[in-house]
Chain A
Amino acid sequence: MLMLSPTMKRPPVRRILMHAALFSVAFCMAQLGCAQDTPLISGGVAFLTSTNGGNTTYTPLIEPLIAAPIGNHILIESRAAILESFFPKGGGESGYDHSHFAAFTYLQGDYIASRHLTVVGGDFLIPFNTYNERLSPVWISNLQDGPLIAALGLMSSGSGLGGMLRGNAISREKYSIDYAAYFSASSTNEQFPAQRSSGGRASLYLPQKRLEVGLSYNRLLQDTQENFYGAHVWWEPKDTAFRLRSEYARGHHAQGYWIEADYRTQRFGGPESFFGRFEPVFRMQQTFRRDTIVSDGLPLVDTQRADFGLDYNLPHNMRILTSYSRQFSSTNNHNIWETGIVYRFLFPAWKGK
């Protein structure tokens, strides 16, 4: 099913209104900026279906994102997920049941001191590997489901409550090194749950080769105090529409990896032609359980999975996602068929003059 990163929480409407009020204040302050700095509302609207073992689930979903700059150095940003899931009742009963979900994914303030340092405060996405920060939005991901190991290193909630320093440590013509380091306090707040943890990520990017390699490390600083290690490799050969992304993550109880490749042909009229809009995707992933203690969201037994996707990039920011997956494990093998349509919206927060 849909990879709704573990950041999902269920906030009361009253608190949502409170945050809306806060953003209204931020928007008003942002009006003092220049004309190009109007706060924006973006995000994705999707209708997704997933058939797993003969049972089909239907999920209409919206992931709104708002961003409001204040002055020359500050950005306030937040993303949320709201969905309704319709699934078969099961147990011999006919018909469908449904469940509702609304959650903030993150809510953070960024102070851009320089290229080398941005100070982030609030509820932020944990910078462990790449999927959580870069690929999890519904309008970005190539496949509906996130990788099996996506939960590793994300401290259950996927977000931290505290502070983060990030930026570019070194930038040269042939290489650059980025970093992100964070500390999160423990929080049992219904809206912003977080575990006490710290960690970070460092990545080396070779712009001429379009190659990025990075390492991540997180440590849970409460209860069992587990360590998590991660590594990622991204490669996008220059002047092509081929992308290769991969991650490895190791936790205290399980480890795994995924490799994903996608391609859009530039023949037959280019990427905006009928054929160029097709985007085949392939992802291969494996997880390995190190013990039977379950605390990380990974499958209970060693699992392999192959995802074959075919996306179609329609004009006007719309995208059709289709995929077939086969998952293998010692408990059972099964097929997963998924289809979806996603629309990405992006507009100013208010009408201009």
Chain B
Amino acid sequence: MPIRHFLPLALALSISASAAFAVLPQTSNTNKTPASAKKSEPATPDQTQDDEGERIFEQNCSRCHNAPQGFSPRISGTIVRHMRVRASLSKHDEEALLHFLNP
């Protein structure tokens, strides 16, 4: 199959990517607003742990899948251990993630 058949698709991909990136800066600004607001007040230890847990979740879990909704707190430890194996999390990461999932 000649490569020219794929040129329109490559063009479509480029346009899609450009369109996506066109909205990225505004998206980023929107997300940063709550974080900035939090900085105006001293963070409590619980908030710090939640932020840490959220960061760990975003960097390890949500890269592959959406967060499951509405699960029982009785299995939060099992979920985190499963993720610990998958994503090579440390014990500290596990605890922060557990706190984030089950505050």
B 21-38 to A, binary, CB cutoff 8 A, 1 in contact else 0 = 101101110111000000
Chain A positions within 8 Å of B91 at CB level? 115
Interface residue ranges of B37-80 to A (CB < 8 Å): 59, 63-66, 68-79
A101 located at the interface, meaning its Cβ lies under 8 Å from any Cβ of chain B in the complex: no
A302 located at the interface, meaning its Cβ lies under 8 Å from any Cβ of chain B in the complex: yes
Known contacts A139-B65, A282-B16, A352-B72; is-contact A168 B1 (Cβ 8 Å)? no
B: contact size bracket? 35 or more
- A305–B72 Cα distance when bound, in Å, is 41
A19 located at the interface, meaning its Cβ lies under 8 Å from any Cβ of chain B in the complex: no
Please name the residue on chain B nearest to A135 by beta carbon. B64
A 162-182 to B, binary, CB cutoff 8 A, 1 in contact else 0 = 000011100100000010000
Contacting chain B: which of A8-16, A46-54, A237-245? A237-245
Chain A positions within 8 Å of B59 at CB level? 205, 207, 210
Chain A positions within 8 Å of B21 at CB level? 242
A 105-116 to B, binary, CB cutoff 8 A, 1 in contact else 0 = 000001010010
In the complex, are the beta carbons of A36 and B88 less than 8 A apart? Answer: no
Please name the residue on chain A nearest to B26 by beta carbon. A267
Chain B positions within 8 Å of A344 at CB level? 68
In the complex, are the beta carbons of A40 and B75 less than 8 A apart? Answer: yes
Task: Looking at the assembled complex, report how far the CB atom of B48 sits from the nearest CB atom of chain A, in whole angstroms.
Answer: 16
- A319–B9 Cα distance when bound, in Å, is 26
A329 located at the interface, meaning its Cβ lies under 8 Å from any Cβ of chain B in the complex: yes
- A40–B64 Cα distance when bound, in Å, is 20
A297 located at the interface, meaning its Cβ lies under 8 Å from any Cβ of chain B in the complex: no
Interchain CB contact (< 8 A) of B64 among A140, A210, A263? A140
Chain A positions within 8 Å of B96 at CB level? none
Please name the residue on chain B nearest to A116 by beta carbon. B88
- A139–B93 Cα distance when bound, in Å, is 25
- A330–B32 Cα distance when bound, in Å, is 50
- A236–B57 Cα distance when bound, in Å, is 13
Chain A positions within 8 Å of B78 at CB level? 36-40, 67-69, 75
- A238–B27 Cα distance when bound, in Å, is 10
- A302–B49 Cα distance when bound, in Å, is 51
Chain A positions within 8 Å of B9 at CB level? 284, 304, 306
B 71-103 to A, binary, CB cutoff 8 A, 1 in contact else 0 = 111111111011011101111010000100010
In the complex, are the beta carbons of B75 and A36 less than 8 A apart? Answer: yes
In the complex, are the beta carbons of B1 and A352 less than 8 A apart? Answer: no
In the complex, are the beta carbons of A75 and B72 less than 8 A apart? Answer: no
Chain B positions within 8 Å of A32 at CB level? none
In the complex, are the beta carbons of B20 and A110 less than 8 A apart? Answer: no
Task: Looking at the assembled complex, report how far the CB atom of A32 sits from the nearest CB atom of chain B, in whole angstroms.
Answer: 13
Chain A positions within 8 Å of B98 at CB level? 36
A87 located at the interface, meaning its Cβ lies under 8 Å from any Cβ of chain B in the complex: no
A 130-142 to B, binary, CB cutoff 8 A, 1 in contact else 0 = 0001110101100
In the complex, are the beta carbons of A40 and B79 less than 8 A apart? Answer: yes
A266 located at the interface, meaning its Cβ lies under 8 Å from any Cβ of chain B in the complex: yes
- A121–B70 Cα distance when bound, in Å, is 32
- A242–B71 Cα distance when bound, in Å, is 26
Chain A positions within 8 Å of B102 at CB level? 36
In the complex, are the beta carbons of B82 and A75 less than 8 A apart? Answer: yes
In the complex, are the beta carbons of A34 and B77 less than 8 A apart? Answer: yes
Interchain CB contact (< 8 A) of B72 among A34, A137, A316, A347? A347
Task: Looking at the assembled complex, report how far the CB atom of B59 sits from the nearest CB atom of chain A, in whole angstroms.
Answer: 5
A95 located at the interface, meaning its Cβ lies under 8 Å from any Cβ of chain B in the complex: no
Interface residues of A (CB under 8 A from B): 33-40, 42, 67-69, 75, 77, 110, 112, 115, 118, 120, 133-135, 137, 139-140, 166-168, 171, 178, 205, 207, 210, 212, 234, 236-243, 259, 261, 263, 265-267, 280, 282, 284, 286, 302-304, 306, 313, 315-317, 328-330, 344, 346-348, 352
Given contacts A67-B78, A280-B16, 14 further A-B contacts (CB under 8 A): A36-B76, A38-B75, A75-B82, A166-B85, A171-B90, A210-B59, A212-B63, A259-B13, A263-B20, A266-B31, A282-B13, A304-B9, A317-B70, A352-B72
- 10 inter-chain pairs at a CB distance below 8 angstroms, sorted by A residue, are A37-B81, A75-B82, A118-B88, A168-B88, A205-B59, A212-B63, A240-B27, A267-B27, A304-B1, A306-B12
